[in-house]
Structure 1
Amino acid sequence: MQMLASALLAAAMAAHAVVASPIQARSPYAVKETHFAPREWTKLDRANGRKLVQLQIGLKQGNMDGLLEHLSEVSDPDHARYGAHLSADEVDDMVRPAKETCDQVEDWLREAGVGDVSYNTAKDWITVHLPIDFVEKLLDTEYHNYKHEDGSIVSRTTHWSLPRHLHEHIDVIQPTTSFFRGAANAATYVKTLDKVHDEVASLSFANGQYEPSDVSKVCNVSSVTPECFQTLYKTKGYKTRASDKNSVGFTNYLEEVPIRPDTELFLKKYRPEAVSSAKTFKTYSINGGPLNDGPLTPQELEDDKSHEANLDVQAIAGISWKTPIVSYSTGGRPPFIPDLTVVENDSEPYLVWVNWLLQQRSIPKIISTSYGEPEQTVPRSYAERVCKQFAAVGARGTTMFFSSGDRGLGGTDKCYTNDGKNTYKFLPAFPASCPYVTTVGATKNFEPEESAYRAGRNLSDGYHDLYSSGSGFSDYFKQPTWQKDAVPHYVKSIGDLYKGLYNPRGRGYPDLAAQGLYFAYFWNGTEGTISGTSASTPLTAGIFALVNDALIASGKPTLGYLNPWLYKKGYKGLTDITIGFSYGCNVQGFPVTKGWDPITGFGTPIFPELVKLAGGHIGY
Structure 2
Amino acid sequence: MSESAASIRVRWHTAQLLYNRRVHQTVENLHLSPKMRWLFTSAAAVLFAFPQPTIAKTPLPKHWGDFEVKHAWTDVPKGWELHAPAASDHTFAMRIGLKQGRFDELVTALYEVSDPYHPKYGKHLTKDEVEELVAPHPETVSVVDSWLSAHGIDTTSVQRGNGGSWITLKVTVEQASHMLNASYSLYRHGQTNEHVVRTTSYSLPRVLHNHIDVVTPTTYFSTIRTMRATNLQRRIEALQDDDADIESKLIEPGSLAAVPPSCNTTITPACLRALYNTSTYVPKATIRNTIGVAGYLDEFANFADLTTFFQRFRPDAANVDMQYVGGITFPTPNVYFSTGGSPPFIPDSSTPTNTNEPYLDWITFILELEQSDIPQTFSTSYGDHEQTVPFDYASSICNLFAQLGALGSSFIFSSGDSGVGGGDCETNDGRNAVRFQPTFPASCPFVTTVGGTFGVNKEVAASFSSGGFSNYFVQPSYQLSAVSTFLTKLGATNSGLFNHGFQVVVGGVIETTGGTSASCPTFAGVIALLNDFRLSQGKTPLGFLNPIIYSAGIAGFNDITSGSNPGCGTRGFNATTGWDPVTGLGTPDFIKLQALIG
* 2:230 alignment partner in structure 1: 186
Pairwise CA distance, 1:414: 2.5
* 2:586 alignment partner in structure 1: 603
* 1:215 alignment partner in structure 2: 259
Choose 35-44 or 256-265, whichever is displaced more.
35-44
**Distance (whole Å) between structure 2 residues aligned to residue 73 and residue 32 of structure 1:** 36
Match of 1:555 among 532, 538, 541: 538
Cα deviation digits, residues 118-144 of structure 1 (max 9, x gap): 111411101122222221112111012
* 1:34 alignment partner in structure 2: 71
Matched positions, count? 522
Which structure dedicates a bigger proportion of its chain to strand? 1
- CA 1:108–1:555: 2 relative to 1, 3 Å: same
Structure 2 residue matching 1:367: 3-state secondary structure: strand
Cα deviation digits, residues 431-467 of structure 1 (max 9, x gap): 01000000000111111011113xxxxxxxxxxxxxx
Is the Cα–Cα contact under 8 Å of residues 97 and 215 in structure 2 kept in the other structure? Answer: yes
Cα deviation digits, residues 523-560 of structure 1 (max 9, x gap): 22222122111110011111110011111112222111
Name the aligned partner's letter for residue 524 of structure 1.
G
Pairing 1:13-28 to 2, within 5 Å after superposition: 21-22=57-58, 24-25=60-61, 27=63, 28=65
In structure 2, the gaps of 5 or more residues are 1-52, 241-254
**Distance (whole Å) between structure 2 residues aligned to residue 548 and residue 475 of structure 1:** 32
Pairing 1:98-137 to 2, within 5 Å after superposition: 98-115=137-154, 116-137=157-178
* 1:75 alignment partner in structure 2: 114
Name the aligned partner's letter for residue 222 of structure 2.
F
Pairwise CA distance, 1:237: 1.8
Structure 1 residue matching 2:473: 3-state secondary structure: strand
* 2:202 alignment partner in structure 1: 160
- CA 1:248–1:432: 2 relative to 1, 3 Å: same
Cα deviation digits, residues 151-202 of structure 1 (max 9, x gap): 333221121122222221111001101122352322314x3212999xxxxx
Is the Cα–Cα contact under 8 Å of residues 88 and 360 in structure 1 kept in the other structure? Answer: no
* 1:391 and 2:387 matched: no
Pairing 1:167-566 to 2, within 5 Å after superposition: 167-182=209-224, 183-189=227-233, 191-194=234-237, 213-216=257-260, 219-274=262-317, 310-331=319-340, 336=345, 338=347, 340-362=349-371, 363-411=374-422, 413-453=423-463, 468-504=464-500, 518-566=501-549
Choose 41-50 or 56-65, whichever is displaced more.
41-50
**Distance (whole Å) between structure 1 residues aligned to residue 300 and residue 356 of structure 2:** 18
Pairwise CA distance, 1:48: 2.7
Is the Cα–Cα contact under 8 Å of residues 23 and 111 in structure 1 kept in the other structure? Answer: no
Is the Cα–Cα contact under 8 Å of residues 23 and 138 in structure 1 kept in the other structure? Answer: no
**Distance (whole Å) between structure 2 residues aligned to residue 66 and residue 435 of structure 1:** 16
After TM superposition, the score normalised by the length of structure 2 is 0.83
Pairwise CA distance, 1:55: 1.1
In structure 1, the gaps of 5 or more residues are 1-16, 198-210, 275-306, 454-467, 505-517
Which of the two has higher C-alpha Rg?
Answer: 2
Cα deviation digits, residues 535-587 of structure 1 (max 9, x gap): 10011111110011111112222111000111112121010001101111122
**Distance (whole Å) between structure 2 residues aligned to residue 196 and residue 222 of structure 1:** 12
After TM superposition, the score normalised by the length of structure 1 is 0.81
Pairwise CA distance, 1:99: 1.7
Pairwise CA distance, 1:93: 1.1
**Percent of paired sites with the same residue:** 41
Structure 2 residue matching 1:66: 3-state secondary structure: helix
- CA 1:196–1:417: 2 relative to 1, 3 Å: farther
- CA 1:70–1:114: 2 relative to 1, 3 Å: same
Structure 2 residue matching 1:528: 3-state secondary structure: strand
**Distance (whole Å) between structure 2 residues aligned to residue 155 and residue 409 of structure 1:** 31
Is the Cα–Cα contact under 8 Å of residues 22 and 112 in structure 1 kept in the other structure? Answer: no
Name the aligned partner's letter for residue 164 of structure 1.
R
- CA 1:491–1:43: 2 relative to 1, 3 Å: farther
Q: RMSD of the alignment, in Å? A: 2.2
